[in-house]
Structure 1
Amino acid sequence: MNDLKFRDTDHAVRPAKSFALDRSNGKLMGVCSGIADYFGIDALWVRLGFVAGTLLGFGSFILIYLAIALIAD
């Protein structure tokens, strides 16, 4: 038998993932939409996470959101 039959010979080069604000689908500055695009999930879940984090974290997620908006792009 051929011992190399399970060897992966198809090496596709994938472009590196990069984070960017998605201003076209974003509501405020595109932060949540950009995070959702990066991780491949729906932006609604990221927005709900930020709202829950803001309410439970005494507003600290607002600072995180603003920091991401200023640093990205």
Structure 2
Amino acid sequence: MKRLIRSKEKKIAGVCGGISQYINPELDPIIIRVAWLILTLFNPLMLLVYFILALVLPDSSYKTA
């Protein structure tokens, strides 16, 4: 089962990298970063969502039992 986790390929917190790996492992994280930036320009609340995800999502070193 796929899990949404923060990525090791970080620019800020690894949230966009984790989302791109969750959607498709071959998807470039830059596409998600640009989409997130555009969404943030139209809705500044997305910045708050990003930081909440950075706090809530487990790191890439997270192991499931």
TM category (shorter chain) comes to 0.7 to 0.9
What's the offset of the Cα at 1:42?
Answer: 1.5
Name the counterpart of 2:21. Answer: 37
The structure having more radius of gyration, on CA atoms, is: 1
Distance 1:30 1:20 in 2: 8
Deviations 1:7-51 (A, max 9, x none): xxxxxxxxx0111101x2110000000000000121111101110
Aligned counterpart for 2:2 among listed residues 17, 20, 40: 17
- The equivalent of 2:61 in structure 1 is none
Counterparts of 2:35 and 2:51, CA distance in 1: 15
TM-score, normalising length: structure 1: 0.72
Match status 1:48 vs 2:34:
yes
Q: TM-score, normalised by structure 2?
A: 0.80
Structure 1, unpaired ranges of 5+: 1-15
Alpha-carbon distance in structure 1 between the residues aligned to 2:13 and 2:20: 13
Q: Give the alignment's Cα RMSD to 1 decimal.
A: 0.8
The 4+ residue runs of structure 1 with deviation greater than 2 A are: none
Aligned twin of 2:62: none
Unaligned runs of 5+ in 2: 59-65
Percent identity, aligned pairs only, is: 29
**Greater length-normalized contact order (CA 8 Å, ≥ 6 residues apart):** 2
